[in-house]
Chain A
Amino acid sequence: MSIVVKDLVYIYGEGTPYETVALDGVSFEIGDEEFVGLIGHTGSGKSTLVQHLNGLLKPKSGQIFVGGTEITARKKGLTNIRRKIGLLFQYPEYQLFEETVYKDVAFGPSNLGLSETEIDQRVREAMFLVGLDFTAMAERSPFELSGGQKRKAAIAGVIAMRPDVLILDEPTAGLDPRSHADILDMLDKIRKSRGVIVILISHNMADVARMADKVIVMDGGKIALAGTPAEVFAQDEFLSAAGLGLPPITKFIREMRQKGAKIGSNPLTLDEAEEAIDAYLTTKRGAGA
């Protein structure tokens, strides 16, 4: 499975005084099983872009190919695309509506017209993957759950469609550190067990640096930068001009360098940073002695 996007253009409110170009010639490719971090400040076009990927918005021009099939050309048959591409909006718990968690998670699969046994199997699988205990939770009302559990139930509703591509718009927004960590672990687990493409929209640079294989930076409706986390987060001046920060670790190491510390590597995680700083302190002591 791969995603190819070519010259995508989208204009909001065309012909009104509020007309804005939301996507301005966006092109990129995502390969099999890649984990992509999509970053950009609010209003840079990230959400508009991902809504195109499963056909919720129609581009003014440009093409999108999902697994070799062009999804921008035809009007019908979008259900087939939507089953392949799971899209999770911000604060997805606000879309829960069924009497029980089970029924809510089953909503997607039953829209696909699957058999009862197939649906049941998928609901169990999805609840397991997001870490909701089936026996304890399945028959409870989704509205009785805690904030973190609601979020997980909503994610399960998308996972139960067994998408090949999973797009998540700020899945950890507003959660406490524990639920935040749970959601990230869950993403790892889903990716390993199902081999899906993951596109993570996030403002949390530390998460992106740690999880992503590739980072796409959007600014003013265009792709401003793309590459591995190490490549992208090396462009600190560019990122701050686009209203984005660096992962705290990267920023910390950068500040050390500015103070004259000689650190060769570019750590993106705490473990790497610990190693690099320790090595630096050792050489410094050596040099001082």
Chain B
Amino acid sequence: MSNKPELLSVESVRVQFPDGTVGLSSASFSAQQGEIIAIIGRSGAGKSTLLRCLNGFQEITSGEIYVSGESVHSMGNTELRRLRRQIGFIWQEYNIIDRLPALTNVLTARLAHNNPWQSAVGFFGSEHRKIALHNMQRLNLMHRATLRADRMSGGEKQRLSIARALTQEPDIILADEPVASLDPELAWQVLSDLSRVTREDGLLTILTLHQVHLAVEFADRILGIAEGRIVFDGPPSALDDEAQTKIYGGRLPQLHTSEENYLKAMA
């Protein structure tokens, strides 16, 4: 093929859980390198399900997902591991390994790159350590490198998990409600950090968010999901009252377009 395939392409994806409920019904979109996409919608609308399909944690019932032109659906275990190496994941509850030091936590991102037998005895060569430390520096965590992760604050843990995701040297970052466990001020800071580093690296970033104003502030593009369907796909500027009604079913959250107004409103 002469033209490069899109980095991510989701085609009519349907997810039906074993109990019969439909998580996603016919979701389609595609995304390019460097985009920051926020997925918004009410709880249970299918936001997390969509993210989990993208790295193969959630099996899809029908449809296709292509990452760099390869079908996720037809991947075996080895291919799935290679896919996951290419995708950094950031979680609402951080999912840092509490009893490991910060640096070791970041180094877990190199497990898929390092020789497994070296990893088994805790050996990570300096090439891996350099990448880990570089990313910790970018997130201002160097002073925490040897601290056990359970001694860190919520904001630090989430920055640590961003550093971990970047240390995979991924093409895509997925973030599932990355700031839902943080207070408004920390949420703003963490999203600023996340969008800064992923823009610097030109990564495709897809994050789910509960707060529309954060999506409007930090994303280039917004996907609105309601009842398992993508009901809005466009730039933040196009997210008018009508679009929000479609996504949220009538309740219109207040929009705040600067950090100052946002924090004032949250206070």
A and B found bound together:
no
Question: Which A residues contact B (CB, under 8 angstroms)?
Answer: none
Question: Which B residues contact A (CB, under 8 angstroms)?
Answer: none
